[in-house]
Amino acid sequence: MLSGTQTFAEVKIAEPASPPITKTTPTATVISSNAKPIQSNTPVKNSNAITQTYLLSPGDFIEISVWKEEGMQKEQTLIAPDGNISFPLAGTIMAAGKTIFTLEETIASRLADYITDPVVNIKLLQSNGNSIFVIGKVNKPGQFPTNRRIDVLQALSLAGGLTVFANEGDINVQRRVGDTIKVFPFEYDDVIDGKHLEQNIILEPGDTVSVP
C-alpha cells in the first residue's frame, strides 16, 4: 500500500449511453439425488504420503484405534524385533513390511468376527525401525532414520558426502540376512559418471554404507 496522499487531476470523460439492462437468471447448482450426504461423525483416514508408502519395520512405534470402540482407543505398541504386534481380539499380526493402510485392513479383517464393520486407524508415532547407517570417511557419519526408501548416493548425501581422504572405489553396502552378511560393492566414480548404475541399490532398513 502506498503511503502519503497523491493528487490526481480531475478529467471529465463523456459517459457513453447506458446499455439496456438485461436480466439474467442465476444458474442453480444441481445436486444429484444419489449423492451421499457428508456425515460429520464419519472417521477421517490418514492419507498423507507416509501412510501410503512407508513400510513398517521392527522398532517402529505406532498407535492403533478402532472407531467407536471404547476399549480400543489409542493402543500404543512397539513393533517387535520379529516384526509382529499383538492387538486385542486380533491376536498376533505381522506388521513389518506392510504399509500403514495394509496393516489397518489386516486388523479390521481380524476384528470383523467380533465387531460389525470395524474401522481401524493407525498413526506412526516414531519411525525408529526404518534407519540406515553410514560409517567411515564421510562428513557426518551416523544413523539416519528415513520415511522412504533411499539409494546409496542419497545415503551418502545425508551423511554430508565423502571426505577428501575417502577411498571412492572401495565403498560397500553391508546387509544382514539371517546369520550372514551380504556385501554389495559401490564404485562412487563410476556411478557418478553414469556407469554401473545397478550398484546404486535401494537400501533396506538396517543397511550399513561403509566408506573406507
**What is the per-residue pLDDT for 184?**
96
Fold of 131-211: Outer membrane lipoprotein wza fold like (3.10.560)
pLDDT at res. 45: 54
Q: In whole angstroms, give the CA distance from residue 19 to residue 87.
A: 74
Q: What is the pLDDT, as a whole number, of residue 39?
A: 42
Check residue 24 and give its pLDDT: 46
Residues of the chain with pLDDT under 50: 1-14, 21-42, 47
Q: Identify the pLDDT of residue 82.
A: 86
Instruction: Check residue 2 and give its pLDDT.
Output: 45
Residues spanned by CATH 3.10.560.10 within the chain? Answer: 131-211
Phi/psi at 70 (5° precision)? -60, -35
**Amino acid 46: pLDDT:** 52
Q: Name the segment(s) of the chain with CATH classification 3.30.1950.10.
A: 49-126
Of the candidates 82, 72, 128, the one whose C-alpha atom is nearest the C-alpha of residue 104 is 72
DSSP string computed for 72-120: GSSEEEEPPTTSEEEETTTEEEE-TT-BHHHHHHHHHHHHTTTSSS--E
Per-residue pLDDT reduced to its tens digit, 165-210:
999 999 999 998 878 899 999 999 999 999 999 999 999 888 999 9
The predicted pLDDT at position 13 comes to 45
As a CATH number, domain 49-126 is: 3.30.1950.10
- Whole-model pTM: value is 0.55
